Structure 1
Amino acid sequence: MREALKDAKVSRETTATAVKTASSRRDREWPRPDHCRVVTIANQKGGVGKTTSSVNLAASLAMHGAQVLVVDLDPQGNASTALGVEHHAEVPSIYEVLIEDMPLDDIVVPAPEIPNLYCAPATLNLAGAEIELVSKVARESRLRRALDAYDTNKFDYVLIDCPPSLGLLTVNALVGGDELLIPIQCEYYALEGLGQLIRTVDLVKAHLNQKLRVSTILLTMYDARTRLAAQVAEDVRSHFGDVVLNTVIPRSVRVSEAPSYGQSVMTYDPGSSGALAYSEAAYEMAHGGAVQ
């Protein structure tokens, strides 16, 4: 028990330090990659912060000068909502790209709140795409083909937000990405199901996309008041090592509220603990990994 309390204290101090450091780094110039980084954000477990992380990392990177595209592959379209992008049924979307071979260039739109940030929106039509993709030629590589035909060099980052499943949409995202970012919530059962995700990644790497690698693990929904959160964080770090970002994302009401206003937390409440933590996590990403 003494060790768990000590871990909780260390984690609280780490979070506090990260938040303070984030505010001091906010106005600095961040490095930009020498080529476009295509990062898939996936975890088949629902409610772990995939969309929240996609939107807020993208917003933070864009606010520091990077050109960023968010590809919304979730039929719920929550990333599109949070970026303030229209995604009703009549809007050309990622569905038309995957199913009807529409060029990505015809659907990508700027996010109205943040310069340098763009979105390939999802509509409810995407809900049927899992079934429709089954009969398509090269069904696992449709997104990769669309990205290859698109000028991704005008972007520094392409972040692909996945649905909470390991179906064909997520497989398309894994084939389309070079890196995988896995959000893991600091709660009970956090690691359950990750084995299946890692096995899927290994299969995709062996047969469809040799470049794919797990580059980043992001701990989300961290509650410093609980011993459980500290224990989960310790377990994840011991299991995944250096790919786990030093920054943890705390539970934050502001982070949850922001999408209902069509915003990321970076613009909704930039001084909140959630916004500062995501800014720090994006800073680590921009530097290629955990910052010591």
Structure 2
Amino acid sequence: MRKSMGRIIAIANQKGGVGKTTTAINLSACLAEAEKRVLTIDMDPQGNTTSGLGIDKNNCENTIYQLILGECSFDEALIHTEFEYLDLIPSNVNLAGAEIELLNIENREYVLHNEIEKIKDNYDFIIIDCPPSLNMLTVNAMTTASTVLVPIQCEYYALEGLSQLMYTINLVQERLNPSLHMEGVVFTMYDARTNLSLQVVENVKENLDTTIYKTIIPRNVRLAEAPSHGKPINIYDSKSTGAESYRLLAQEVIDREDD
């Protein structure tokens, strides 16, 4: 098998509460569990991916914020997490100010790309958790990424805002990163007891011309609890349905690379 170059996946949906960060944390951890070298980049000022991987976000001397503003090197921002094969570039609330500071920087859409370009071959996968808005940080994630993975919550307004996200992806592809394409959609918070979840899945399949992952992430109490313990689900409760689902998703992501 060929040695793969680092595959960079941005996880994006400007709608909050769709399982975006949960997917970033657990997909990263399950890829690492499969002995893939993974770098997770937290681009969300809320820093939930950082704390969900067991790192105290308020105690990080260097974060993605310092990195994109050129105030530290990649190695200075890098954290080797307690989970084997999994590294992290953390984030915290400082990042909220980056939007304004980036205004004065030349080629500001490519700041992250230029940093990651230097190290991407050290990893099999780089997973970027985007902020829940379509701003300059999201654009930076998309100029860096090769694909965009969109988590969609199985609820009535699932498709709302999605066309806006697709428009942004297409715009970035046209103007800034021609090699960007849609990784696909993953359904989250699926409740097998409701017809609604099923309808949403069908509706998206009819309306979206994109790959849809077979793995559907269920609503799962253990999955919701894990981040507050600073652990990904495969560590927090390895046998839970949430852990099994993210392992299956990770396997699908890996298999897609080998196609």
CA distance in 1, matches of 2:72, 2:203: 44
CA distance in 1, matches of 2:97, 2:251: 37
Match in the other structure for 2:18: 48
CA contact (8 A) 1:55 1:79 kept: yes
Match in the other structure for 1:253: 221
User: TM-score normalised to the size of structure 1?
Assistant: 0.85
Q: Which residue, 80, 86, 98 being the options, matches 2:68?
A: 98
Match in the other structure for 1:221: 189
Corresponding residue SS for 2:54 = coil
User: TM-score normalised to the size of structure 2?
Assistant: 0.95
Match in the other structure for 1:14: none
Match in the other structure for 1:231: 199
Task: Please identify the structure whose Cα radius of gyration is greater.
Answer: 1
1:60 aligns with 2:30: yes
Where do 5+ consecutive residues of structure 2 fail to align?
Answer: none
1:204 aligns with 2:172: yes
Q: Deviations over 1:62-121 (max 9, x none)?
A: 001100000000011100101112322552000001113532222111111x20001000
CA distance in 2, matches of 1:54, 1:183: 10
1:38 Cα offset (Å): 0.4
CA distance in 2, matches of 1:141, 1:198: 20
CA distance in 2, matches of 1:64, 1:32: 18
1:239 Cα offset (Å): 2.9
CA contact (8 A) 2:47 2:91 kept: yes
Runs of 4+ in 1 over 4 A off after TM superposition: none
Q: Percent identity?
A: 43
1:77 aligns with 2:56: no
How many residues are treated as equivalent by the alignment?
Answer: 258
CA contact (8 A) 1:32 1:286 kept: no
Q: Which residue, 112, 115, 118 being the options, matches 2:87?
A: 118
Is the alpha carbon distance of 1:219 and 1:101 closer, same or farther for their aligned partners in structure 2, counting shifts above 3 Å?
same
CA contact (8 A) 2:19 2:188 kept: yes
CA contact (8 A) 1:85 1:119 kept: no
CA distance in 2, matches of 1:242, 1:169: 24
Is the alpha carbon distance of 1:241 and 1:247 closer, same or farther for their aligned partners in structure 2, counting shifts above 3 Å?
farther
CA distance in 2, matches of 1:286, 1:90: 31
CA distance in 2, matches of 1:242, 1:146: 30
Match in the other structure for 2:113: 144
1:242 Cα offset (Å): 5.9
Corresponding residue SS for 1:134 = helix
CA contact (8 A) 1:42 1:182 kept: yes
Please provide the CA RMSD for this pair: 1.7
Where do 5+ consecutive residues of structure 1 fail to align?
Answer: 1-30
1:174 aligns with 2:148: no
1:271 aligns with 2:239: yes
Match in the other structure for 2:157: 189
Is the alpha carbon distance of 1:123 and 1:89 closer, same or farther for their aligned partners in structure 2, counting shifts above 3 Å?
farther
Instruction: List aligned pairs for 1:148-163, cutoff 5 A.
Output: 148-149=117-118, 151-163=119-131
Corresponding residue SS for 1:92 = coil
CA contact (8 A) 1:217 1:244 kept: yes
Give the counterpart letter for 2:66 in structure 1: E
CA contact (8 A) 2:18 2:151 kept: yes
CA contact (8 A) 2:15 2:161 kept: yes
